[in-house]
Chain A
C-alpha cells in the first residue's frame, strides 16, 4: 500500500539515482577533513602501547621503573597484569604516555615485560599438521538435499580439488585509535570508529570494570567522528587501547592521543580468516550440477572462526546434494575481525573455482555452465541477466577460449567469472530533520561516513524530499549525542539511514505545509515542494519560494522525526542482492606474474540513491579483491610465532598501475521498487574467485591457493 513516505516515482526523481559529487569531497581533497589522528588538543599527551613479544605466554613481570625516569614520562596503565596469559604477538600489555610522540616511544622502549613462554601454533594451511599439534576442532557438519551417494552415481563428471586463501588484514590507512579528553565528568572521545553511537556504552562498560575508576555512565561519553580513515569491519569497538587511553587522560588530567603503529595495526587490529578446503563437485553430461561436498578449515586466531557458507549461491536444497564439514584451527595470532562480507569471499573461492574446473572437465563454456545452473540459486532471473550483461562488458564471446588453449607465447590470456550474494538488511536508525525559519535544513543522526558517501546520500534524500538542492542541506553525523543510528557493518547503513531520513524529512515537510497552507489559503494536501518552491498543485500560481515558505514559521523551528524500522512508514528498503564479476587476465608463464587486463562488475542494489558513490563502492571492492587475489597475505613464522610482514612494504597492496581497466554496471530501474539495499559488501566477494578462474583458464591448471603470487603460479605449472 502506498504511503506518503514511499520513494518518489522514477519520473519524479531529480536527484535520486543520478551522479553527484561527494559533498565531503572538497574537505578531503584539501586535506582539511579532521580525522581522529589529526586532533591536536591543548596540552595533549602522546601514548604508545607496550605489547607482547611472545606468541603465547604468561606475564612474569612488568617493570616500569626505568620508563618512569625517561624524560617526558607522564603515566602508564596496565592492560594486562602479572600472571595474565597472552595468546599472540602484539597483545596489548600496557599503555604509556609522555609529553611528545618521541618521548612516548622512549618510554615504551624502556618498559620491560617478562614472559614465561608457553607452546604456540601459528600455521593453518596443513590441517593434518595442525591436528597433530592438537589445534583442530570440528565446527560444522551439514548434509542437505537429496542423498549424496546417489547423486555421485548419477554424475557423469566429477572434479576433486584443493582450494584456499590465506589470512589478510584490514590495513585501514588511519590506524585504530583515538584522542580522549577526560575533563571533569565529561569524556570526549575522537575515535576512529564505524560505530559512533555504540562507543559510549562500550567505553563506559570497559572503564567501570576498573574499581579504581568507579562507575562511568555512557552519557558522560561524547564520541566525535566526522571523518574516519577506513574500517572495513574492524572498527566497531573501543578496544583495550581506547579504554587505556581514557584512563591515561583521567590519570594525567590531559587529553591523550593513542593511535596504533602500523605493525600493531596489522598484527592485532584486523584480520580476515583464512579458508582452505578439499572440494568434490559433480554434474551430468548436460551440465546439470548434482552434488557438492567440501571439507574446509580455517583460522581467525585462537578461537578459529571462518566457517564459509558453502556451496555458495548455488545452494538449492531441494535439488543439489550438499555436504559441508568445517574445522576450526586455533592459532596464536591476532584475532580476526569482520572483514567486508565475512566468510563470503572464501565461500566464493571454494565454490566458483571448483565449478569452473568442472565446466572445463565437461568441456563447457563456464558462462553457459553457470547460467544453466542458475535455477539452483535464489534468484535465477537476476543472475542470468547479470551474467549476460557482464559477459557483454568483458567481451566473453570474443575473448574466451577453452582452458589452456591460449597460444604458444609465454604470455597467456584467460577469462573467469564468479557470482555473489549478500543481505544488507538495514540497521535501526532514528533521525531528526530540522527546518529553520531562515530556510536552513539539517539532517541529524549518530551515524558515520566510512568513505561510502553517507553525507552525500542523506543530502540527496533530504533535498529530493524537499525539492531543494544538495548544498541546501546540512548533514550532521559523527556525534554520539545525535539521534541514535546503527553501526556501519554488513552494508546496513544506507538502507537504515536513508529510511529514517526520508521519514523525518517527510514529517518535517508536512508540518511546514500546514503553515504554508494557512498563508496561501489552500489545502495542505494540495501543496508540493519542488524546484525550490512550495506551491499548490491545483493552482501553481499560489506559490512561495522555499525561503519565503520557511519565513512563515516566525520564530519556530520544525523538527521532524523518523525511524527505521517503521511499519507505517512505507517500503523503503530491502535485503538480498546478486552480482556477477568477470576477469580478463594475462599470465606470464616464465615469470609467474599475473596482470589484470580488465574486470567487469554488474551489481544490483535495489534503488540506487547516488550512482557515482555506488560505482565507487564497486570499484573499491574490486580493487581490494585484486589485492587479496594477487598480492596481500599475512605470513606467520612458526619458529618465532611472529607475523613476518606487519608493514606496508612486504604486506603488499596494489597501486594505481596494478588494477587494469575496470568497468562497473549498476543495475538501475529494474529493482527500484525493492527500495534501498546496502552496497558495501556484495562487490567485495567475487574478485578472488573470478581472477583465479581467469588464471586457470589462461594457463590450463588451477593455482590452488590465493594470493596468486608468481611462486604459486610457477609451482602449479611445474606440478601440472
Chain B
C-alpha cells in the first residue's frame, strides 16, 4: 500500500496536500527485516519524522499536534493516524471505512490540506498541524460548513459526514468564492453511500461564502 493523499489522485484537485515524508510501504520495508527487540511501553524510543533511523516494530513515543494541542502517545510504527486518533485518543469523529485511501471518511487536515488519515502513519504525522472534526467547533458554535450541512440536510446515516465536512472545510479555507466545479473537485475524494451529495454540494458552496 502506498501512501496516497487525495492530492495524489489525478481526479482530485486537492492542491497543497503534503507529499513529503515516507510512505507506509517504504517504511515497512525499512523496518521489516531484522527488527528485533519489541519496545516496552514507557521505555519507547522516540521516533522522529525527519530521521531515517529504523524504529519499531514495538511502540515508539511520538508527539502529535492535534487541534492545537500537544498529544504524547506510544504507538507501533505501523499504526496509522486514523487508528491512533480513534483507538488511542478516543477521537472517533474521523471514520475508518475503506482503509485504503479511497472513500475519504477518515479525512483530516494536515498543514492546511485534506489528507486520508487511514494512509498516513501516526509517526508520519509528527511535526504537522493536524486538524480533526473535533477541533473545528466549540460547544456553542459550529463551523459554517457544519452549520450548512445541517441547514441543507447534507447527511443521512452520517458516517461519511465528518470526512466530507473536513474536505468541505478545506475547500472553504482555500476560497471564499469557490465555483460549484471547485466544490465538486474538492469533495471528489469522498464517498457517501446514502447519497447526500445534493445537500453536501450546496452546504460547502454556501459555507465558503458565509
List residues of chain A with CB under 8 Å of any chain B CB.
Answer: 21-22, 24-35, 37-38, 40, 46, 71, 100-102, 171-175, 227-230, 232, 261-262, 450-452, 612-613, 615-616, 619-624, 647-649, 653-657, 659, 662
Complex Cα–Cα for A228 and B196 (A): 16
* Most interface-central of A37, A71, A171, A620 (chain B CB within 10 A): A620
The 5 lowest CB-CB distance pairs between A and B, nearest first, are A31-B93, A623-B195, A229-B159, A620-B195, A451-B157
Chain A min CB distance to B103 (Å): 5
Chain A min CB distance to B144 (Å): 11
Would you call A656 and B157 a contact (CB within 8 A)?
no
Complex Cα–Cα for A185 and B199 (A): 45
**If the complex has contacts A26-B150, A647-B100, are A452 and B156 also in contact, measured as CB distance less than 8 A?**
yes
Residues of A within 8 A of B92 (CB): 31, 34-35, 37-38, 40
Chain B min CB distance to A172 (Å): 7
Query: A170's closest neighbor in chain B, by CB?
Result: B193
Would you call A655 and B197 a contact (CB within 8 A)?
yes
Would you call B195 and A622 a contact (CB within 8 A)?
yes
Complex Cα–Cα for A394 and B83 (A): 46
Would you call A31 and B103 a contact (CB within 8 A)?
no
* Most interface-central of A29, A34, A46, A173 (chain B CB within 10 A): A29
Residues of A within 8 A of B173 (CB): none
> Would you give the 0/1 interface string for B132-144, flagging 1 where the beta carbon is closer than 8 Å to chain A?
1110010000100
A-B contact pairs, 21 of them (CB 8 A): A21-B153, A28-B161, A29-B147, A29-B149, A30-B142, A34-B92, A35-B159, A102-B76, A173-B193, A174-B157, A227-B158, A229-B159, A261-B99, A262-B100, A451-B194, A619-B196, A623-B198, A647-B98, A648-B97, A653-B193, A655-B197
Give the number of residues in B that approach A within 8 Å (Cβ atoms).
59
List residues of chain B with CB under 8 Å of any chain A CB.
Answer: 38, 76, 78-79, 83, 86-87, 90, 92-100, 102-103, 105, 132-134, 137, 142, 146-147, 149-151, 153, 155-162, 165, 181, 183-185, 187-201
Residues of A within 8 A of B147 (CB): 29
Chain B min CB distance to A686 (Å): 14
Residues of B within 8 A of A24 (CB): 158
The answer, among B76, B83, B195, for a CB contact under 8 Å with A621, is B195
Complex Cα–Cα for A553 and B151 (A): 37
Would you call B184 and A657 a contact (CB within 8 A)?
yes
Complex Cα–Cα for A596 and B81 (A): 36
Would you call B187 and A619 a contact (CB within 8 A)?
no
Would you call A173 and B198 a contact (CB within 8 A)?
no
Complex Cα–Cα for A22 and B156 (A): 9
Chain A min CB distance to B29 (Å): 18
**If the complex has contacts A31-B162, A648-B103, are A656 and B183 also in contact, measured as CB distance less than 8 A?**
yes
**If the complex has contacts A40-B92, A613-B153, A656-B201, are A262 and B99 also in contact, measured as CB distance less than 8 A?**
yes
A-B contacts besides A451-B194, A656-B190, 10 pairs, CB < 8 Å: A26-B142, A29-B149, A29-B150, A30-B137, A32-B93, A101-B87, A172-B157, A262-B98, A616-B199, A619-B195
Would you call B150 and A620 a contact (CB within 8 A)?
no
Query: A30's closest neighbor in chain B, by CB?
Result: B137
Complex Cα–Cα for A622 and B196 (A): 10
Would you call B87 and A620 a contact (CB within 8 A)?
no
* Most interface-central of A71, A655, A659 (chain B CB within 10 A): A655
Would you call B159 and A173 a contact (CB within 8 A)?
yes
**If the complex has contacts A451-B158, A452-B156, are A172 and B193 also in contact, measured as CB distance less than 8 A?**
yes
Query: A26's closest neighbor in chain B, by CB?
Result: B150
Residues of B within 8 A of A21 (CB): 150-151, 153
Chain A min CB distance to B104 (Å): 9
Would you call B142 and A29 a contact (CB within 8 A)?
yes
Residues of A within 8 A of B199 (CB): 616, 619
**If the complex has contacts A655-B187, A657-B184, are A30 and B146 also in contact, measured as CB distance less than 8 A?**
yes
Query: B198's closest neighbor in chain A, by CB?
Result: A619
Chain B min CB distance to A84 (Å): 29
Query: A22's closest neighbor in chain B, by CB?
Result: B153
Would you call A648 and B197 a contact (CB within 8 A)?
no
Complex Cα–Cα for A29 and B87 (A): 21
The answer, among B155, B185, B191, for a CB contact under 8 Å with A22, is B155
Residues of A within 8 A of B197 (CB): 619, 623, 654-656, 659
The answer, among B142, B161, B195, for a CB contact under 8 Å with A624, is B195
Residues of B within 8 A of A100 (CB): 76, 87
**If the complex has contacts A29-B150, A262-B99, A612-B153, are A620 and B165 also in contact, measured as CB distance less than 8 A?**
no
Query: A33's closest neighbor in chain B, by CB?
Result: B158
* Most interface-central of B38, B153, B158, B185 (chain A CB within 10 A): B158
Complex Cα–Cα for A615 and B154 (A): 11
Would you call B95 and A657 a contact (CB within 8 A)?
no
Residues of B within 8 A of A27 (CB): 158
Query: A100's closest neighbor in chain B, by CB?
Result: B87
Would you call B93 and A30 a contact (CB within 8 A)?
yes
The answer, among A22, A619, A647, for a CB contact under 8 Å with B150, is A22
Would you call B153 and A230 a contact (CB within 8 A)?
no
Query: B194's closest neighbor in chain A, by CB?
Result: A620
Chain A min CB distance to B154 (Å): 8
Would you call B157 and A228 a contact (CB within 8 A)?
yes
Residues of B within 8 A of A174 (CB): 95, 97, 157, 159
Residues of B within 8 A of A624 (CB): 193-195
Chain B min CB distance to A176 (Å): 13
Complex Cα–Cα for A489 and B142 (A): 34
Would you call A662 and B142 a contact (CB within 8 A)?
no
Would you call B194 and A230 a contact (CB within 8 A)?
yes
Residues of A within 8 A of B158 (CB): 24, 27-28, 33, 227, 229, 451
